[in-house]
Structure 1
Amino acid sequence: MSTTQMQYAGAAAELAEEPLSIYISRTFRAPRQRVFEAWTRPEQMLKWRGPEGWEVLEAQSDSRPGGEHRVVVRGTPKPRSEADRPVEVTGASWGTYLDIEPYSLVRFTWRADWAPDEESVVTVRLSDSQDGGTLMDFTHDKFLTPQSAQGHNQGWSSAFNKLTKFLEG
């Protein structure tokens, strides 16, 4: 089961007062500990972080409040128009862990070199699902523009397809 929704803040003038956010809910046929470790252990992050078709080149994680994380990916973004040529790029995201509660919460700041003026916050809440797996409630908020929220929504949704394959495969 998958739910995705974006919350827009309204008119562009209001963006500073009400940052944009995305929410994605996924259920995995895996125990909470396994899902939590996929979010916090670098050797597991290498297997799924980044959109489908993209390679994770590097993953670092010091999963404690104040600890840092960093992921470097390489891939070819979809062209925005027919005139655009597909070009392979490398991108990095990084930040600081704000809250860590083993097997139930991972919360961290998010910065990315493709959006250098934007610092957002990712919150991952894990709970037991009715079918014996793990329910993940994912929120990424404080985007500066609808375009950034939409791009991250597409990227995370694709990465969660990889996470499903990694956890359930």
Structure 2
Amino acid sequence: MINNELKSRVENDNVLVLERIFDAPRDLVFKMFKEPEHLKHWWGPTGWELPVCHIDFRPGGTWHFCMKCTDQNQGEYYGMESWGKVVYKDIVEPEMITYTDYFSDADGNINETMPSSEIKLEFIDLGDGETKLVNHAEYVSAEALQAVMDMGMLQGITETWNRLEERLNKIK
């Protein structure tokens, strides 16, 4: 049994590094991040769905998406929408994806008042059908990183990656 707990650490006050091992081959884990039909099943915390998911998966391309809370038990969050926009920088399939991650509106306009981040996703083949996913998220400042931490980002990414694991287990 692999240890699939999310590990997190902060480097240089403004870089959040997240790591988790998935019991799935690297090609499959990578595929989960590039195809809308997969992302729609796992992206977002528990109780949230992805009703909008438009991807142009190439350097310079974008991913515009909406996460919507569909769980009535989440009280004030029920019905809330959270829009995001990714601008891909570099893609080395199946090893790495780099992009800038923004908050946006429904039209894809970037929300300059919210912290953006430079993301590097590494997909490391551990052999035996296991993959380590490493997410480096660099923010402009320690304050920007703290702002997203205060929004519950760590809990959200933990739940999101739990959902990714469930999706992987369902289709592998």
Partner residue of 1:4? 7
SS at match of 2:139: strand
Partner residue of 2:15? 21
> In the TM superposition, what is the alpha-carbon distance from 1:37 to its structure 2 partner?
1.0
Partner residue of 1:163? 164
Q: Normalised by the size of structure 2, how large is the TM-score?
A: 0.79
How far apart in 2 are the matches of 1:164 and 1:47? 11
SS at match of 1:168: helix
Q: Normalised by the size of structure 1, how large is the TM-score?
A: 0.80
Matched, 1:41 2:52: no
Q: Are the counterparts in 2 of residues 49 and 71 from structure 1 also a CA contact under 8 Å?
A: no
Identity %: 23
Q: Are the counterparts in 2 of residues 48 and 162 from structure 1 also a CA contact under 8 Å?
A: yes
Gap change, CA 1:78 and 1:6, over 3 Å in 2: farther
**Paired residue type of 2:162:** N
Q: Are the counterparts in 1 of residues 139 and 145 from structure 2 also a CA contact under 8 Å?
A: no
Cα root mean square deviation, aligned: 2.4
Gap change, CA 1:54 and 1:156, over 3 Å in 2: same
**Paired residue type of 1:60:** H
SS at match of 2:88: strand
Q: Are the counterparts in 1 of residues 15 and 145 from structure 2 also a CA contact under 8 Å?
A: no
SS at match of 1:135: strand
Gap change, CA 1:35 and 1:59, over 3 Å in 2: same
> In the TM superposition, what is the alpha-carbon distance from 1:86 to its structure 2 partner?
2.2
Matched, 1:66 2:60: yes
Matched, 1:90 2:90: no
How far apart in 1 are the matches of 2:37 and 2:17? 26
SS at match of 1:106: strand
> In the TM superposition, what is the alpha-carbon distance from 1:6 to its structure 2 partner?
3.6
How far apart in 2 are the matches of 1:112 and 1:8? 23
Q: Are the counterparts in 1 of residues 87 and 99 from structure 2 also a CA contact under 8 Å?
A: yes
Equivalences, count:
155
Partner residue of 2:98? 107
Q: Are the counterparts in 1 of residues 124 and 131 from structure 2 also a CA contact under 8 Å?
A: yes
* 5+ residue gaps, structure 2: 106-110
How far apart in 1 are the matches of 2:62 and 2:104? 16
How far apart in 2 are the matches of 1:154 and 1:78? 17
**Paired residue type of 1:59:** C
Gap change, CA 1:167 and 1:112, over 3 Å in 2: same
Moved more, 148-157 or 24-33: 148-157
